[in-house]
A = this chain, B = another copy of it.
Amino acid sequence: MTKTGAQAEGGEGPLAIICGGGSLPNAVAKAVTERGRPVILLALRGFADVEQIAGFPHHWIGIGKYGVFRRIIERHGCRDIVFIGSVVRPGLRHLEFDWATLMLVPRLMGLFRGGDNHLLSGLLRILEQDGFRVLGAHEVAPEITVPEGCLGRFAPSDRDRSDIVRGMDLIAAIGPFDVGQAVVVANHHVLAVEGIEGTDQMLARIADLRRAKRIRMPQGTGVLVKAPKPQQDRRVDLPSFGPHTIDGIVQAGLAGIAILAGETVIAEPARVSDAADRAGVFVVGLPSSQRGTST
């Protein structure tokens, strides 16, 4: 379903950017504007950060306000839509519906049964049925993705590289289950697999296990390996990381992070690189040829 590059660049009118939390909505808006295309930010109430949104034309909308959303983007003549920024899946009882959303309820209900990828892919299908085109943030703003190679001064050792291969293979094996996009491997030993708790909590768990002496490997052992699931729709579920991930890695006593390049977004790359260099950890972007194979 992903558009080809040619289609993705052929948009007319401003790009509608639906903004969750964090600094990425700002980075995408900036990159798209610099390429000469106007943007309209739809800031999700309760998720988007005021200071990240303020510098661009924007509207605040509540989740569930599909009618409001459609009126705004149609008024601005938007056809292309990008989702970016963090959102936590809301419970139905916390949503305030408008009439247009109520009309969608039958279509939405079926979507609440699967994983996040399933839910968001379904929302995407609804937007497409309504004539909109949903693009990936990595398509409209490739400069926000992780480049191949080392980001800071440090590089993975041979042992780290072997852990990275094992991690990529494990991620490939669990891909069909629509579960975590990250694992921690140390000395060929799988320490953690990400579930719905997310990468930050998984790293915090490793830090706890170290404090409890349940992990006794020396500091600087092990790698956080992160890759989007092969069948994942990048337009709605693009893995991302930023400076706080470096903090998490340091707390967990790992040697570094390996991420599939191009398909993973990096928030505030300069701060990530500085933080990694200060902490002595590596950040490496892997070419897609190093995606794992299921054993």
Alpha-carbon distance A173/B184, docked complex (angstroms): 17
Interface window among A46-54, A63-71, A136-144, A186-194: A186-194
Alpha-carbon distance A190/B174, docked complex (angstroms): 10
| Interface presence of A178 (CB below 8 A) | yes
Alpha-carbon distance A133/B177, docked complex (angstroms): 40
User: In the complex, are the beta carbons of B216 and A176 less than 8 A apart?
Assistant: no
Alpha-carbon distance A179/B191, docked complex (angstroms): 8
Residues of B within 8 A of A195 (CB): 184, 190-193, 205
Interface window among A14-22, A98-106, A207-215: A207-215
| Interface presence of A234 (CB below 8 A) | no
User: Which of B91, B115, B170, B214 is close to A196, meaning CB atoms less than 8 Å apart?
Assistant: B214
Copies in the complex: 2
| Interface presence of A109 (CB below 8 A) | no
Alpha-carbon distance A164/B166, docked complex (angstroms): 27
User: Which of B91, B92, B187, B196 is close to A191, meaning CB atoms less than 8 Å apart?
Assistant: B196
Q: Chain A: residues with CB nearer than 8 A to chain B?
A: 88-89, 91-92, 113-115, 166, 169-170, 173-174, 176-180, 184, 187-197, 201, 205, 209, 213-216, 294-295
Could you list 19 further interchain pairs (A-B, Cβ under 8 angstroms) beyond the known A115-B190, A177-B190? A113-B187, A113-B188, A115-B189, A170-B174, A173-B174, A173-B177, A174-B193, A178-B190, A184-B195, A189-B196, A191-B196, A192-B195, A192-B197, A193-B193, A196-B209, A196-B214, A197-B209, A205-B205, A294-B294
